[in-house]
Structure 1
């Protein structure tokens, strides 16, 4: 006898209904999970990605145009050494948030054996002054300065000795012009000495002297008097006050065609070129007895007395630096001369005057570097072994790449910031 059990119709119907409900629930759960996952992906990939990141604005600041600061503010910075001089002033990257220090990156980062004087290049928000000017004539006047005032710069004034202030000819000779400038330089740098002569109404503002050999007509062109002034018997005087970026002993290094003379802290500390204006009797001194005595080729006691009286050169022979590719300067002048040593205190302000002149006419040029006494790890010229030095400069601007003969220079160096009187 067997027992047979069958499901009733009611039970089978209830089980079928439950099966359908379970299937609907599973499908609904899957659909909702897919929708929620999609919303999550949309939030991450679309909404968050579309949020604007903090904006950075790149602005190129022409440091030659910054207004002078009322007092020196020397801050430290880590040195990044470029391999060669940048053609343009460095760019500054800034955001809308205030930062007390702005880092200046160089375009090239290598060549770590270039000497930086172990010192910082300061640039803070205070250095920006009241605004940044734009000079539409910048490329035309760059070597001699900009005609837009402001910035950490020296102020240049241009004189023509061939004519009076009213424009009448003076008939001054080259020798007489040299003696006129000698009197000016050795009697206190009073520009009243030049009051009777023509002065350009345009002043130029420059941070360094690195004028490669060029036609002497470029100077009156830069000072906007080329139609009135010829290429000879003129001078440009750059004046200002600079803050010493560090304590130490320094000397200027350079040469002028025809002349470059520097007075620092009230003392003549550099004078070398085709004319040495502190000792000239009117004529050019290049290659003559002064040069021979300075380089140890002569023992002329009269020359020695005159050089010592000028107060710049006391120890002989005077160190001279030759550089590769400067054949004209090397052969005619023995290269660049070193000036008198002077000692400064960090942050102390010193007056400075620089005179540049062309006397007979034709071509001209002027170079002014600076050397720290006792500096270490200085890069050397491969041919002559002379130290590759930085420019003397009052801001970060660098010269355009040299088109003629010019010494190499270290593009990283301390800044002698110009300050208001």
Structure 2
């Protein structure tokens, strides 16, 4: 019986063994738990690392702002090119800059229609004038005598048209037109008054009012300053259909209106005027007026059309004491009056008939 009733090793250490087993199990669980946490940490670290990669394109977007600014700077390049072209053109005209006012060949319009008068260049120009002035032109204002300033119909017919011009001739006060009649917003700047026979609607078109103005009973008033190339006596020769009147120093020096107009009652002192008028040539010879070399002198011109259809006007100038070649009908071959050299592109448009006038001759501009 001696050892039968004694407990064995495990019996003696049953509690200890159970504790060890429990510890072992917990140890395993702890290892597993730590492994799971480690995996999670590794996964999170990898996700964080990928998130940093996503941020890289944002830095690249900031870098894109640099070329955008560069493009804005490049916009200025075309302007620099234009400036370079202008300098080349001015360089080609340098030899003419020292000329005195009124001398032939002074700084005039270039072939492309641009103008130089010390104040501007590259101007668009047509037979009625340029769209901008340089200082050597007559500023032109267009009026439709059939409408009031608001564009409503005004009292007007062919006979009343002549009466309105008679009243205007009494003072040449432009406010008479401005208060009562429609005025085109656009101005024109003319250096000559050599308009060939054309449709009367060309005038409203030149002043950009062709959509609102019927091509009849209109006038265009021009005012400017001239300077003679030489001291002496001068006079105009002119013809028009229907209206061409000129004042120098506030004095009417020629009425070259169509004969049937009968507006001013002006008559020429030259016997040849009556002769050519009776022969149907209708060329009028103006009164002499004195100009001092280089001295600025005011001058006004009024052109217009009464019934519509066609319009034209020619204004030439003669200097006393100068011999001119003979032209058509024995008339002197006079130069076209101008304040600058006529652009080459406009000369064909003037449709100058041989033996009537010439584009050669002095200029009467103030700026040279």
TM-score category, normalised to shorter length: 0.5 to 0.7
Trace 1:18-417 onto structure 2 (pairs within 5 A).
94=91, 99=94, 101-102=96-97, 120-123=104-107, 128-135=117-124, 138=125, 142-185=126-169, 187-194=170-177, 195-275=179-259, 279-280=262-263, 307=265, 310=266, 312-316=267-271, 318=273, 333-376=280-323, 378-381=324-327, 383-398=328-343, 399-402=346-349, 406=353, 408-417=356-365
Q: Distance in 2 between matches of 1:172 and 1:387?
A: 39
For residues 204-246 of structure 1, give each alpha carbon's deviation from its aligned partner in whole angstroms, at most 9, with x where no partner exists: 0110001100100000000000001011100001101111221
Give structure 1 stretches of 5+ with no counterpart.
Answer: 1-57, 62-90, 105-117, 281-305, 323-329
Q: Distance in 1 between matches of 2:105 and 2:117?
A: 15
Change (3 A) 1:349 1:159: same
**TM-score normalised by the chain length of structure 1:** 0.58
For residues 334-379 of structure 1, give each alpha carbon's deviation from its aligned partner in whole angstroms, at most 9, with x where no partner exists: 2421111111111111110000010011101011010112212x22
Query: Do 2:141 and 2:188's aligned partners in 1 also have CA atoms closer than 8 Å?
Result: yes
Query: Do 2:230 and 2:293's aligned partners in 1 also have CA atoms closer than 8 Å?
Result: yes
Query: Do 1:153 and 1:418's aligned partners in 2 also have CA atoms closer than 8 Å?
Result: no
Q: Distance in 1 between matches of 2:318 and 2:297?
A: 17
Q: Distance in 2 between matches of 1:276 and 1:394?
A: 30
Q: Secondary structure at the match of 1:94?
A: helix
Shift of 1:149: 2.9
Shift of 1:134: 3.5
Q: Secondary structure at the match of 1:369?
A: strand
Where is the helix percentage greater, Structure 1 or Structure 2? Answer: 2
Query: Do 2:268 and 2:285's aligned partners in 1 also have CA atoms closer than 8 Å?
Result: no
Change (3 A) 1:121 1:248: farther
Change (3 A) 1:181 1:226: same
For residues 236-267 of structure 1, give each alpha carbon's deviation from its aligned partner in whole angstroms, at most 9, with x where no partner exists: 01101111221111110111100100001110
Q: For the aligned residues, what is the CA RMSD?
A: 3.3
Change (3 A) 1:240 1:223: same
Q: Runs of at least 4 residues of structure 1 off by over 4 A?
A: 58-61, 319-322, 402-407
Q: Distance in 1 between matches of 2:295 and 2:249?
A: 11
Query: Do 2:233 and 2:320's aligned partners in 1 also have CA atoms closer than 8 Å?
Result: yes
Q: State the structure with more CA Rg.
A: 2
Change (3 A) 1:272 1:320: farther
Give structure 2 stretches of 5+ with no counterpart.
Answer: 1-83, 109-115
For residues 128-166 of structure 1, give each alpha carbon's deviation from its aligned partner in whole angstroms, at most 9, with x where no partner exists: 42441342xx3xxx1111212324211000000001011
Change (3 A) 1:210 1:405: same
Q: Distance in 2 between matches of 1:250 and 1:129?
A: 26
Shift of 1:417: 0.7
Shift of 1:317: 5.2
Query: Do 1:240 and 1:418's aligned partners in 2 also have CA atoms closer than 8 Å?
Result: no
What residue number does 1:19 align with? none
How many equivalent pairs are there? 272
Shift of 1:177: 0.9
What residue number does 2:81 align with? none
Query: Do 2:106 and 2:341's aligned partners in 1 also have CA atoms closer than 8 Å?
Result: no
Q: Secondary structure at the match of 1:221?
A: helix
Q: Distance in 2 between matches of 1:276 and 1:247?
A: 36
Change (3 A) 1:231 1:225: same
